[in-house]
């Protein structure tokens, strides 16, 4: 483990704590600040999360993904116990979570998918990137071979339109290339091995689709340059030396909005 300025001892138990989020930057926190092609970032919301002032309840879509994640982590029984709302009154799973069971069964039937998900689970590493301490937690770490992240998506094949760029795959649209870039660099700093990054993807479609997707290194290099370009601003925001911007569209901004004047009807469509 390379040395960093933080003395905070990161563990599986405190990985998602407010204190850990103050001490370390993570990919999800980076995307809260900066956003992705698919979701606008909000600096004020990101800081509110770090301070513990703003928490969002996971959507059903996220919970379905977490159900599959917990199966591969070996913590499904614990997940079921902590989330009784996923069951109907008769004790059977709600339909969305029955779909999660179907996804698990489908991925279990595929030898290649299982091979890539057979690594060490939820491996935590830390490193300093661009002068900032980062934390990562890997779904499947195949030591000296590969980094694999499990994604459960509505579909693996839908392309999303981005103005001035064109159609993008779900990997770049939701910033999973940024995740791969950071994970690869952190592992490299800890081991000296620059490992390929893969997404083990499964869809929620009626006929479940599965893929193991190699996110090529040139995409990861491009994504890492995005991180480097934005890191100084994030560092200043976390240190409190600059004032955060508001996006005025996220849940935090809606909750804390203070009306100062009437708006024009044209303002409602100004961002289109």
Q: Provide the pLDDT confidence category of residue 269 given band limits of 50, 70 and 90.
A: confident
> Can you tell me the distance from the alpha carbon of 27 to that of 8, in angstroms, rounded to the nearest whole number?
19
Q: Provide the pLDDT confidence category of residue 146 given band limits of 50, 70 and 90.
A: very high
Long-range pairs for 49-52: beta carbons < 8 A, 24 or more residues apart: 49/21, 50/18, 50/21, 50/22, 50/238, 51/18, 52/18
Q: Provide the pLDDT confidence category of residue 179 given band limits of 50, 70 and 90.
A: very high
Average pLDDT, the chain: 94
The string of pLDDT tens digits covering residues 48-95 is 999 999 998 888 889 999 999 999 999 999 999 999 999 999 999 999
The predicted structure's pLDDT at residue 230: 98
Sorted by where each begins, the domain ranges of the chain are 18-56+110-269
The predicted structure's pLDDT at residue 268: 83
Residue 271 has pLDDT above 90, yes or no: no
The predicted structure's pLDDT at residue 1: 44
Q: Please state which CATH number belongs to domain 18-56+110-269.
A: 3.90.320.10
The total of other beta-carbon atoms located within 10 Å of residue 50's CB is 21
**How far lies 70's CA from each of 86, 179, 185, in Å?**
14, 20, 26
> Can you tell me the distance from the alpha carbon of 181 to that of 191, in angstroms, rounded to the nearest whole number?
15
The string of pLDDT tens digits covering residues 112-126 is 999 999 999 999 999
């Amino acid at each position: 483990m390379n040395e960093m300025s933080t003395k905070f001892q990161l563990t599986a138990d405190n990985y998602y704590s407010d204190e850990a989020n103050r001490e370390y930057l993570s990919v999800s926190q980076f995307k809260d600040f900066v956003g992705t092609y698919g979701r606008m970032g909000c600096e004020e919301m990101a800081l509110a999360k770090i301070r513990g002032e703003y928490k969002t309840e996971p959507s059903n879509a996220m919970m379905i993904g977490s159900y599959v994640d917990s199966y591969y982590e070996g913590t499904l029984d614990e997940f079921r116990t902590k989330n009784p709302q996923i069951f109907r009154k008769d004790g059977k799973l709600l339909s969305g979570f029955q779909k999660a069971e179907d996804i698990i069964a489908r991925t279990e039937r595929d030898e290649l998918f299982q091979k890539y998900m057979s690594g060490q689970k939820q491996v935590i590493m830390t490193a300093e990137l661009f002068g900032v301490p980062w934390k990562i937690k890997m779904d499947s770490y195949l030591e000296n071979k590969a980094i694999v992240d499990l994604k459960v998506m509505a579909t693996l094949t839908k392309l999303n339109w981005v103005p001035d760029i064109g159609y993008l795959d779900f990997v770049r649209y939701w910033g999973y290339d940024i995740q791969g870039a950071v994970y690869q660099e952190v592992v490299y700093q800890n081991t000296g091995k620059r490992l390929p990054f893969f997404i083990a993807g499964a869809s929620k479609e009626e006929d479940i689709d599965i893929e193991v997707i190699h996110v090529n290194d040139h995409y990861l290099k491009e994504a890492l340059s995005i991180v480097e370009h934005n890191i100084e601003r994030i560092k200043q925001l976390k240190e409190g030396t600059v004032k955060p911007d508001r996006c005025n569209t996220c849940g935090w901004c809606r909750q804390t909005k203070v009306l100062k004047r009437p708006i024009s009807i044209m303002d409602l469509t100004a961002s289109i």
